[in-house]
Amino acid sequence: MSIGHNMSSAREHADAHEDVLFGRICARRNALLAQWATTVLDLQDMQAYAEELARAAASGDEELLNRIREDFRAAGIEVMDAVLQDRMVALLRSATAELRRGEPGHGARERRD
């Protein structure tokens, strides 16, 4: 094997790792978003709402934003898109910080003996 092949393989491995990490960060962001929205919407079952948002997020952030916007509208709560987008960005930062600190239960690898 050549050095170029090894470097290419290492880059592919690093890219795959980054994709997995970003997926974990987004999943945590979505859970935090569900927690926030559940409080604002005065919903009783945060877990169920988080699962609904996860399904919406599978189609992308725009679909997630649409879902939350509609839920707020249905509850009679007016919120500007910029506020929702800012909240999503802030929670993405929080989720990234949590995972970088390796907080258990948030996608960090936990040791199992």
Reading the block at residue 75, the tokens are: 């509850």
Report pTM.
0.76
* Residue 94, number of CB atoms within 10 A of its CB: 14
pLDDT tens column, 79-107: 999 999 999 999 999 999 998 888 655 44
pLDDT tens column, 16-33: 767 788 899 999 999 999
| 43 burial type by CB count under 10 A (0-12 exposed, 13-18 middle, 19+ buried) | middle
How open is the CA angle 20-25-31, to the nearest 5 degrees? Answer: 130
